Amino acid sequence: MFRTDKNRASPREGSGFISREVEEFQTVVEEYRSRVYQTAYGIVQNADDAKDITQEVFLKVYTKMDTFKGLASLSTWIYRITVNTAIDMIRKRKPNVYTGFREEISREEANVPGFSGAARFASPFNATYQGEIRKLIQEAFTRLSPDHRVTLVLREIEGLSYQQIAETLECSTGTVMSRLHYARKKMQKLLAPVWRPAA
Amino acid sequence: MRRCRKIRKDMDKYLDGELESEKIPFFEGHLKTCTLCREALAQHREERQQRVLGLLPDEIPVTTRDILASLQGHAPAKPAAAPDIFPEFKESPLARVKKWVFRPVPAAAFALCIIALGLSLFLPFNTHRKASGAGVIIDQIESSQNVMIYQPEKTDTTIIWIMPASAKEIS
Ligand SMILES: [Zn+2]
């Protein structure tokens, strides 16, 4: 699967010699580590899986750097690898982790004790409130299809433009817009009781 | 009211910073005059921010050190490597097994072709055949490098043997 020739340069702490490739790679890791983890976490909503995805992404980047040159911008290429690795993880996990949610988030669930309506927006930094709301947001999000999750994360968490998302996912900006529209509509619908609870 | 509906429809695009520049004056002009749309936009922005907060990790638990350590024993990319981008995605396990099983065959065929080409192009030829005990030497070519094509008895195997000039006497 991957070349494992130990005679070739590999990153070794404490050894005086680090090859130029490794040094270059280290700069890439420093620059993209947070973005890769955040994107992976955003898509799978699970810290352990996001950690594994991050390691796998950089292993791919490290061993495939030669195939990258000149194909796309480095960030597009790394986002693309991240997205594909995360989608693979979702598919792998599907039967046990990411399914089995109830069809609706009920108004009762959304009514986090002690907070209602305007009070929630008035104190959005209360820890309990944040924890509860967060669970509901995550639950709603993980009901979206992988493609919709990915598009929403690249736009809202990573702040990519429609054009950059289209390049990353190798689709048209029209597709990006329609996926965003659908994903947001669905999130809004699922979370409507959270934002506007019954009086 | 029709204007309001138009504005609501474009809110996400506006917040994404992707609303077409020619639509921005109309959009912002309307917000100045319509309290309902202004409030709707504020509420929408707030919901989006909450959503992002809900989906963000608390921390980044993978350090550069962790990542570099996980690469131990893996070779970095070299410009001369094969051009396939992600063979581990394209290849089925069966294909991988086949690749390993059949690899020696094309390799041997390739080697034979190269040697044959070498023989026909570069060597001054003075070939002769002779028999020996263990099998048959089909062809022996004398040159600075003596090349011998040898077939052991009762087999279909052909051995191609390249000897340095100094070793010629032995044969
Ligand atoms: Zn209006």
Q: Specify the amino acid at residue B136.
A: V
Model ipTM value: 0.78
Does residue A66 belong to any structural domain of this protein?
Answer: yes
Contacts with A25 from chain B: Cβ below 8 Å:
76
User: How far is A113 from B57, CA to CA, in rounded Å?
Assistant: 24
Q: Where are the beta strands (DSSP E) in A7-151?
A: none
- Reported as a single tens digit per residue, the pLDDT across A66-125 is 788 666 799 999 999 999 999 999 998 865 444 444 445 555 555 554 344 444 444 555
Chain segment B84-119, per-residue pLDDT in tens: 444 444 444 455 445 554 565 555 665 665 566 655
A34: CATH: 1.10.1740.10
Q: Give the pLDDT of residue A95.
A: 56
Q: Do A82 and A132 share a domain, yes or no?
A: no
Please report which confidence band the pLDDT of residue A65 belongs to, taking 50, 70 and 90 as the band edges. Answer: confident
Joined tokens for residue B129: 């055949």
Q: In terms of domains, do A107 and A163 share one?
A: yes
**A22-A27-A29 Cα angle (round to 5):** 90
Q: In the listed set A64, A93, A122, which residue is the last one of a domain according to the structure?
A: A93
Q: Is B127 helix (H, G, I), strand (E, B) or coil?
A: strand
Interface contact A62-B52, CB threshold 8 A: no
Cβ A53 vs Cβ A40: under 8 Å: yes
Contact between B61 and A37 using a beta-carbon 8 Å cutoff: yes
Residue in B71, B77, B88 closest to A10 by CB: B71
Provide the chain B residues 1-40 that lie in CB contact (below 8 A) with chain A.
Answer: 12-13, 16-18
The DSSP code sequence of B7-29 is HHHHHHHHHTT-S-GGGHHHHHH
Among A156, A160, A23, which Cα is nearest to A79's? A160
Instruction: List helix spans (H) across A123-172.
Output: 127-141, 146-152, 162-169
CA of B52, closest CA in chain A: separation in Å?
6
Give me the domain span that covers residue A130.
100-190
Are residue A85 and residue A126 in the same domain, yes or no?
no
Quote the number of domains for chain A. 2
B50 and A153 within 8 Å at the Cβ level: the answer is no
Considering A44, A76, A93, which residue would you say is the last residue of a domain? A93
Residue B116 is predicted with a pLDDT of: 63
- Model confidence, pTM: 0.65
Contact A25 B76 (CB under 8 A): yes
What is the distance between the alpha carbons of residues B107 and A6, in angstroms, rounded to a whole number?
24
Q: Which residues 83-142 of chain A have a CB within 8 Å of chain B?
A: 84, 121, 124, 130, 133-134, 136-138, 141
Q: Based on the fold, state whether residues A84 and A108 are members of the same structural domain.
A: no
From A50, A72, A93, give the residue that closes a domain: A93
Inter-residue contact A40 to A86 (CB < 8 Å)? yes
| A199 falls within a domain | no
